[in-house]
Every structure is written in C-alpha cells, then in structure tokens.
Amino acid sequence: MPAEAVTTSVLDLQRIVIKFFAVNPAPADPGTFIPILHRWIQTRRVEGMLVDVADYGHLPDGPGVVLIGHEADYFLDSMEGPFGLLYSRKAPLSGSLADRIRAAFRAALVACARLEEEPEFKGTLKFKAGEPLFIANDRLLAPNTEETFAALRPELEGALRSIYGGAQVALVRDARDPRSRLTVRITTSEPVEVATLLSRIG
C-alpha cells in the first residue's frame, strides 16, 4: 500500500485501546471488582452509557471482569501482560486522531483514578501512569506494520505531549507477530501519578 494510503487509513482510526498496568499483582479474588462496577453503573461513576458487568474470571487467560458500555468497555484483566485496566473505545469520536487518542487516555485515566479511590482497596490499588499501552483495535485500518506505525507516530506523540508535558516519552512497537493488533508500549522518563495526568488533560 502506498505511504499516502497508509497515512490516510490510520488517520481514520476510531477503535482505540489504552491500558494502564497496576503496580501490584492482580487481587486474589477478581470478583472484588464486580460489586464496584455495578455501583459505577448505578452512580454513573465514569462517562458514557454503562450497560452491564460480565465476569470471565473463570476462564484461563480470559478477559477478566468487564464493565460493558455503549461507547466503550472497561476490562480488568491480565491479557496484555500484567494485570491492569484496559479501556476499549467502540463508538466514534470527533476531532483529529490525536484528539481521539487524548480522549481515550482521559477516559482510561478517569477509570484508574476512580478505582484507586474505592474504599475496598484502601489505597492498595495503584496504576503505573507512566507505562501505558496503546493498541489500534482495527487490523484493516491499522495493520501491524512499520509503515503504519510511522504514519501513526506523529498523532500519538502529539497526544502524549499534552498528557505527559515535558517528560521524554519512548514508543516501541511490538513487532513479534504481524498478525496481532498494532501495539505500542509507551514509557516516560520520570514517574508520574494518575492524578497528575488528569490535571493536565482537564
């Protein structure tokens, strides 16, 4: 595919996934999250229309506990490595790709902050705000190739500059399997808290 076509294709990406890994291993009982997420539905704790909670904790390497929404789903799982919170956008967002990435980061960070505040965890659940994972959840628009990554990179870096400020940010594409979704591991030059990033995004 010509470079111009790759760039245009990537710029249309809507299905964006952001994951923040937890500092500590997964709770011994993933079911702990179920009443919390049901409470989120009742109190509209995070934005969007929330529909239901699904428990896949009994499946080895499964999607864990899922808060199902109309616009996006929230996963508490270990499918992409260590345990963490994964935000998966489904409904279209307006603005440029950088704007859509920034909005997905904000939604994921809000969910992380809300979980950190839940009394059930008494401050024991924390997320590594400086080591997120970006996934382009659309193999057609964003195949896992170096050309796609090159076209995506300026938009992703633009979004990350507004989120991480002056911190240096390294992006590494996971190229082990070209059939997998385009996945980018992000690391920052200095530790940062979830609340700090939310204050920058607004």
Q: How confident is the model at residue 7 (pLDDT cuts 50, 70, 90)?
A: low
Per residue in 137-155, is it b (16+ CB within 10 Å) or e — as a string?
bbeebbbbeeebbebbeeb
Residues 128-146: what's their mean pLDDT? 96
Residues 48-74: what's their mean pLDDT? 88
What is the crossing angle of helices 146-164 and 97-117, to 10°?
Answer: 60
* DSSP symbol at 178: T
76-85 confidence digits (pLDDT tens): 988 888 899 9
Q: Which of 121, 140, 180, 119 is nearest to 15 (CA)?
A: 140
Q: What stretches of the chain adopt beta strand conformation (E)?
A: 16-21, 50-56, 64-69, 72-77, 84-89, 133-136, 169-173, 182-188
Q: What confidence score (pLDDT) does residue 1 get?
A: 59
pLDDT above 70 (res 201): yes
pTM reported for the whole predicted model: 0.93
* Phi and psi, residue 25, nearest 5°: -60, 170
Which run of H or of E encompasses 127?
A: none
Q: What confidence score (pLDDT) does residue 84 get?
A: 94
pLDDT above 70 (res 16): yes
- 1-10, 90-99, 110-119, 131-140, range with the lowest pLDDT: 1-10
Q: Which of 76, 93, 73 is nearest to 84 (CA)?
A: 76
